Structure 1
Amino acid sequence: MRDARRGPSSTGPGRFRRVLRVRILGAGVAGTAAAALIAAAGHEVELIDEDFAQPALGTSLALFPPAQRVLARIGVLDAVTAGATAPREGRLVGRGGRVLATLPSGEALLVPRPHLLACLRRALPSEVRRRRMRVQDVRPLRRGADVLVGADGLHSLIRLSGWGEGARARGHGMTILRGITPQAPPEISETWGGGWLFGITPLTGGGTNWFASVPEHRAPDREGDLAHLREVVGGARAAIDAVLEASAPARTTVHGLFTVSPVRPVREDVVLIGDAAHAMAPNLGHGANTALSDAAALATALDGAQRIRPALARYAARRHLVDQGWRLGSEVMLRAGMADGLAGGRDAALGGVGRALARRSRGDQEPAR
């Protein structure tokens, strides 16, 4: 076993801490945040990515207060907020255009993914070693590292290597489309139709961010994908028609919907974070939030750790059930939003919940019986 290198400890004068060699595969939100936090604690960090590319399209992520606190810990909250929007509420609309509920935003920031990632990358300490390489075999990555972090996303090579074929991402027979338009949003809403959903949110700078889920269908090109989406949802609501009229293939992304079955995120000295550990449906808007919380929890677990495996066990105990709860909840919301034959009963139930929430927000009382 290697001799542990030690340096001054932040836990008190005269104490020493082990300086860890941490190797992170994947420079997305989870990997970059983890690199920034772990390096700031004095550990040696190597961040590996195939190309360190910025996302091609600036679609938005919702970041709630716990994620905002992680950004503050990294030192980028003000910079991220400067490029974000913060709507106060949005409407949930059912089949036929009926407003089911008006929901508060939960103090969320809507942040374009490229802006968030750029802020995180600028915050990386200069000591972080960045290496561009295409990884096909993860076994060499464990050599010379105290901890190997899999932040390599939905189709994680580290997860497949260490957890086996049973941990391969699984499809849900749906297609996700996301896009932006330069026009201001006609409303802030998510519409649950019969077998499809369509969301509209504001985009920083005055434009519109939109997203849609439909039964699996792929056309030869983006123009065909948009044409199919217009066939499925066109005419359902004027606001959706207006957004799709302003949409263009060059400002649209299309991909399948995949999630990851439950896996415990730690094996020996290897740990999974973000989508590599718990890729989820987008319906609760918590993918980036859980990724940032994972990064912060991992940095905390490693800070001052003398033994790796107990530290990683503490990380798993803190994050595994929470992350799996969000993963499961997102799938439940996905199934509710995409319901077809049961859409009428779903809308009636949600309409009752929406009315109760509205009464509570106004301070109304139920009539005495």
Structure 2
Amino acid sequence: MDLKNLTIAIVGGGYGGLAAAKALTVAGANVTVYEQASEIKEVGAGIGLRPSSLAQFRAWGELEAITSVSNASESFQILTAEGHPIAEEIWPEVDAHGVTTHLIHRGDFIEALFATLPKSMVKLGHRLEKIADNGPSATLSFADGRSETYDLVVAADGIKSVIREQLFTDSQPVFAGEHAYRVVVEDADLLSLVADGKLRMYIGRGTKVYLLPLLSRGQVSFDITALDVDGTWAPEVDLDYILKTVEGFDPRIVDATRRLDLAAVNKRAVYDIDPVERWSTDSVVLLGDAAHAMCHHQGQGANSAILDAGALAGALVAAASVPEALEAYVAERKPVTDELQRISRQGWSEDEVNDVFPGQKPNSGRQEG
């Protein structure tokens, strides 16, 4: 199919939406990205980009843009809370060019990707209120009263997707029974724990601490994920509350937690979504977190969105029509992400949960948010 004859809108300017914009632009499509924020700015922590994702950027001619603001990582190590090694997994994927997993700050990733797109392509300050599926086209209606119709709309509007809720399912995000406290720090103690570039996870009583080295920045992405019964989307907790979650951990982790600037910490309850039965109509398709938001334990959210983008562009180029392309894209990506969602939901055992919250069964607190 000649993509030059299609008008395509992408709703959402996060990593999924921008990756889709890049993939479709390289394939020759006429793309417009709508983002509700007034600026492209990604806060939060670090992410790991697998070779399969980096291969997409190589194909799009932008590998150096990503690797120049990231660092290679050899492996993922799991340790006890006190720092005794439990297991180590060498990153299994290395592409034909010898590129291995790279670790990158979300903000650097978004900025690097955004910089590769024509600035006129991304329309900021556009909050979607309604989508109408017209069959061979779809109409977007925004909060400022404007409406636009496209041959194809790609919903990359995240875990709280307006498009998913209006066209595909009204089921809401599901609380995973955990909080995540994330911050990027220049802490000498934490840097000493990951100076070799390895991603490390420390496991304690109801708590996992992830240390993701951002060596290109001289920083560490510090993530404390702890069991909690409060499903408030952005919970209000103080530093003493967070400190209790790391009791008994390596003293360097405890001390680094004590030194945190609470105002800089991103505090969120952990949510995912149930697998979505249907991802597409003849003119609308889900991508990234809108299609398959998953818990962060496997580190597959960003990678899945990037692979979605590549698969969608490839399917559109290969197919004779948009509906045929969307069917092929869903057939390729949905079984993979359904399994990743399932694996990412595997958390603490019943005994471990009961140790922290007596009488509460694993994930019995799962609730919609």
Query: TM tier, shorter chain?
Result: 0.7 to 0.9
Letter in 2 for 1:265: W
Structure 1 residue aligned with 2:344 = 330
Q: 2:166 aligns with which of 154, 161, 166?
A: 161
1:243 aligns with 2:256: yes
Structure 2 SS opposite 1:231: helix
User: How big is the shift at 1:180?
Assistant: 1.4
C-alpha change, 1:226 and 1:74, in structure 2 (3 Å) is farther
1:1-369 correspondence to structure 2 within 5 Å: 19-51=5-37, 53-55=39-41, 57=43, 59-94=45-80, 97-106=83-92, 107-125=100-118, 128=121, 130-139=123-132, 140-141=139-140, 144-166=149-171, 168-184=172-188, 185-188=191-194, 189-203=200-214, 204-216=216-228, 217=230, 224-263=237-276, 264-303=278-317, 305-332=319-346, 334-335=347-348, 339-340=352-353
C-alpha change, 1:257 and 1:73, in structure 2 (3 Å) is same
Letter in 2 for 1:294: D
Distance 1:199 1:337 in 2: 22
Distance 1:337 1:63 in 2: 32
For structure 2, which runs of at least 5 residues remain unmatched after alignment?
A: 93-99, 133-138, 142-147, 195-199, 357-369
User: How big is the shift at 1:298?
Assistant: 0.5
User: How big is the shift at 1:64?
Assistant: 0.5
Distance 2:52 2:243 in 1: 37
Structure 1 residue aligned with 2:136 = none
Alpha-carbon displacement from aligned partner over 1:207-264 (angstroms, at most 9, x marks no partner): 2211111123589x99944321101213322232133134212331011111111113
The answer to whether the Cα contact below 8 Å between 2:82 and 2:248 also exists between their aligned partners in 1 is no
Structure 2 residue aligned with 1:13 = none
Letter in 2 for 1:173: G
Structure 2 SS opposite 1:261: coil
Structure 2 SS opposite 1:254: strand
Letter in 2 for 1:87: S
User: How big is the shift at 1:173?
Assistant: 2.4
The answer to whether the Cα contact below 8 Å between 1:18 and 1:305 also exists between their aligned partners in 2 is no
The answer to whether the Cα contact below 8 Å between 1:40 and 1:125 also exists between their aligned partners in 2 is no
User: How big is the shift at 1:206?
Assistant: 1.6
Task: Count how many residue pairs are aligned between Structure 1 and Structure 2.
Answer: 327
- When normalised by structure 2's length, the TM-score is 0.80
Please, which moves more after superposition, 96-105 or 271-280?
Answer: 96-105
Distance 2:349 2:70 in 1: 29
Distance 1:67 1:56 in 2: 19
For structure 1, which runs of at least 5 residues remain unmatched after alignment?
A: 1-8, 10-15, 344-369
C-alpha change, 1:52 and 1:119, in structure 2 (3 Å) is farther
Distance 2:255 2:118 in 1: 44
Please, which moves more after superposition, 285-294 or 67-76?
Answer: 67-76
Structure 1 SS opposite 2:324: helix
Distance 1:197 1:214 in 2: 6
Please, which moves more after superposition, 70-79 or 273-282?
Answer: 70-79
User: How big is the shift at 1:144?
Assistant: 2.6
Please, which moves more after superposition, 95-104 or 278-287?
Answer: 95-104
Please, which moves more after superposition, 157-166 or 199-208?
Answer: 199-208
C-alpha change, 1:266 and 1:253, in structure 2 (3 Å) is same
The answer to whether the Cα contact below 8 Å between 2:35 and 2:122 also exists between their aligned partners in 1 is no
The answer to whether the Cα contact below 8 Å between 1:153 and 1:276 also exists between their aligned partners in 2 is yes
After TM superposition, the runs of 4+ consecutive aligned structure 1 residues lying more than 6 A away are none
User: How big is the shift at 1:335?
Assistant: 3.4
Distance 1:25 1:266 in 2: 14
Distance 1:271 1:308 in 2: 10
Percent identity, please: 26
User: How big is the shift at 1:18?
Assistant: 6.0
User: How big is the shift at 1:17?
Assistant: 6.4
The answer to whether the Cα contact below 8 Å between 2:174 and 2:273 also exists between their aligned partners in 1 is yes
